[in-house]
Amino acid sequence: MPRLVYSTDQGRLCPECQQATGNCQCKTIGATLPEGDGIARIRRETKGRKGKGVSIVNGLLLDDTALKNLAKELRQKLSTGGAIKDGEMEFQGDHRQTLKALLEAKGFQVKLAGG
């Protein structure tokens, strides 16, 4: 049976739930919190980056949108670039101490990982 992808009444439809794209609930149903102990761990990594270091934050129990918003706010406060990969926030440069202070001010429990 063919799926409906457009309706003249509602416009474009989600192929999964058949709701209008504005009312689609697929993203909220499939979104789950990552598993872990809830302690943010900050480490510095240079592997695969031609010697350039990045600070990586993982272990936060936030969904994708909250993690994205937090990463954007932290990037602005650090005045640096970064990305989110596999539920981990990456920030260009060694910002471990600053990240620890910023995350603790937001109420997260933070540990520095690695050497």
For residue range 31-48, list pLDDT tens digits in order. 555 667 788 999 999 888
For the entire predicted model, the pTM comes to 0.69
Q: How far apart are CA 26 and CA 14, in angstroms?
A: 8
Phi first, then psi, for residue 16 (nearest 5°) are -85, -55
CATH 3.30.780.10 fits 33-112, yes or no: yes
For residue range 11-33, list pLDDT tens digits in order. 777 777 777 777 777 766 555 55
Q: What is the pLDDT of residue 102?
A: 94
Q: Residue 19, by phi and psi: left (phi above 0), alpha (psi -120 to 50) or beta? A: beta
**111 falls in which pLDDT band (50, 70, 90)?**
very high
| Comma-separated ranges of CATH 3.30.780.10 domains in the chain | 33-112
Mention every residue, 6+ apart, whose C-beta is less than 8 A from residue 67: 60, 84, 87, 89
